[in-house]
Chain A
Amino acid sequence: MIDFDKEFSSFVEGSEGSSIRDIYSIIPSLDQGQIRILSEMEYFAEKYNLQEIKSFMERYLKMISSNKNLSFLSSMNMKSLLKAYTQDELIRGIKVQSQINQAE
């Protein structure tokens, strides 16, 4: 017999579409200065084949990407984004158009 819930939940299951994960992924890990320094290090590591520098950068990026600075969450833009991502707000009547604009 057909189980509607099982079919729809399995359709959603395969996605990465968790709101929390989506929000976390867009939070930046590095500022402009760090990006520039890392790019320069990468250039020289490639040019002179410096394996130690490459492994250092790999380790550093791994740590910094899982240790994000969340202080900017207090900004209004971020608050609006969080609101748009909140399904509770969506059901209460966040405009469909604004949701879709956020997604694009």
Chain B
Amino acid sequence: MAGLIIGSLGYQRSGKTLLTYLIAESYRNRGLEVYSNMNVSEWTTINSLDEIPFNHTPKVLLLDECYYFLDSRNWSNNTDASIFFNTIGKQNILLLFTAINIDMVEKRLREQCNYIYLCKGSSKAISYKLFDIQRNKSKVFRIDKSKMNWDKVNYNTLEVPNYVDCNLKNFRKKIELSKKNSRLGLG
């Protein structure tokens, strides 16, 4: 029982955001909270990673076009970054991110990916290849555009996703508080 890190890679208009949106929505329909830098009415829009509550409740974090802010050069405090990505599993977060190429993403995130989706769009369908990195398996599937119910897709495909502040200055405080609560038996 643990969180996961899943990347969705592809060129512009390849359907990578659509796929992560559909995954996040499927979990929201099952009662999970979705945190994202996308503006979707039923989701919680975040501007900083600090806004995600530190607990063990399963939750989804969708970071669209994450190389805007998750480039390794942006991290000034590597210790906090390492702690944050290592606690993705412990915090039960399903981290979904999209990027054009995996090389554009922060190294710590890149090397802890559990699954990678490769996406390719055409006029009739969107093709996906899902790689299970740890088990060395893959699966190909496609979404037929004519069979897709576009009314259910509730995000603006032309909108630029928000920049997420990755400064984790409050993150250590949250961990300390969590430890303190745990010692006191407060959950």
| Chain A min CB distance to B54 (Å) | 18
Residues of A in contact with B, size category: 20 to 34
Question: Chain B: how many interface residues by the 8 Å CB criterion?
Answer: 37
Q: Which of B35-43, B114-122, B152-160, B167-175 contacts A (4 or more CB under 8 A)?
A: B114-122
Nearest B-chain residue to A91, judged by Cβ: B102
The reply on A34 being an interface residue by CB < 8 A is no
Asked if B120 and A100 make an inter-chain contact with CB atoms under 8 angstroms apart, the answer reads yes
Alpha-carbon distance A17/B135, docked complex (angstroms): 11
Q: What number of residue pairs across chains A and B have CB atoms under 8 A from each other?
A: 83
- Majority secondary structure of chain A interface residues (helix, strand, loop or mixed): helix
The reply on B66 being an interface residue by CB < 8 A is no
Of residues A4, A8, A13, A103, which shows the largest number of chain B Cβ atoms within 10 Å of its Cβ? Answer: A4
Q: Which of B78-86, B126-134, B143-151, B176-184 contacts A (4 or more CB under 8 A)?
A: B126-134
Residues of A within 8 A of B116 (CB): 90-91
Residues of B within 8 A of A103 (CB): 127, 129, 140
Alpha-carbon distance A18/B137, docked complex (angstroms): 5
Residues of A within 8 A of B2 (CB): 4-5
Residues on B lying within 8 angstroms of A by beta carbon are 1-4, 6, 9-11, 27, 30, 32, 58, 92, 94, 101-103, 110, 113-116, 118-120, 127, 129-133, 135-140
Residues on A lying within 8 angstroms of B by beta carbon are 1-5, 8-9, 11-15, 17-19, 87, 90-93, 95-97, 99-100, 103
